[in-house]
Amino acid sequence: MPAKIPFEFTVLIVDDDDKYRTQTAESLRSEGFRVIEANLSSTACALIRDKKASLVLLDWDLQNHKFCPEEPSTGWQILQTCQEVDALLPVIVMSKTLDHDAQTDSLMAGAGGFLEKPVAKLSLTVHLHRWIARLRAEKNPFTQLTAGVIEKADTVNRAYARAVVDKVGSALQAAPKLGLSRQTIASYLASPSHP
């Protein structure tokens, strides 16, 4: 049975090897991941600009320039687009190149990880779940407080109250779970989420 992904998380697979990309996408979907695919740099960059991806799984050695000359032959442009759109967007680069140039070049260009192709299904799934855990932690108000993104503990309390109300559906139902009055919860909901 596929694992339930705890929040909206979409993997963009960019690979011009249609068979490999399709097999990887099917494998990830069977594990419960939402997956979108691109076989051209231009398509991938458009999806990234439209903020369709939570994580990019990028083949560094794109060869689609052979049948589409205006397309670049490496994933560098895609990685650059990711950084321009969202500097925190995770990019995992894949390559079957035997030398270390692809790994070094991609990591120096800002990739968050590197995997040698073909990537074992279990290894890829574990890798993606680690990124999900990291992204979920980054969204947690307590993590944001520790990191200095949120500057006041009161803001964390308000964010937590909002999250509980969103989950249960109303301030009335959230009140006993939070140990707060409906009026306090209403004031939390009425205040801005950031200081």
Each of the 195 residues of the chain gets a pLDDT tens digit; together they read: 555 555 578 999 999 999 999 999 999 999 899 999 999 888 999 999 999 999 999 999 887 655 566 665 678 889 999 999 988 889 999 998 666 688 888 888 889 889 989 899 988 998 898 888 887 776 666 555 555 555 565 676 777 788 888 888 888 888 887 787 788 888 778 766 544
| Dihedral angle of Cα 108, 131, 144, 193, to the nearest 10 degrees | 110
Per the structure block, which two tokens stand in for 39? 């076989």
The H-assigned helical ranges of the chain are 18-30, 41-49, 76-85, 101-108, 121-139, 141-147, 153-168, 171-178, 182-190
pLDDT of residue 88: 84
pLDDT at 194: 46
Two structure tokens written together for 116: 């040698």
Q: Is residue 144 part of a domain?
A: no
Do 23 and 96 reside in the same domain of the chain?
yes
Whether residues 114 and 179 share a domain: the answer is no
Residues 50 and 127 occupy one common structural domain: yes
pLDDT at residue 79 in the model: 92
**Are 180 and 161 within 8 A, CB to CB?**
yes
Is residue 134 domain-shared with residue 179, that is, in the same domain?
no
The predicted model scores a pTM of 0.68
Whether 64 and 131 share a structural domain: yes
> CA-CA distance, 54 to 34, in Å (whole number)?
10
- Owning domain of residue 172: 150-190
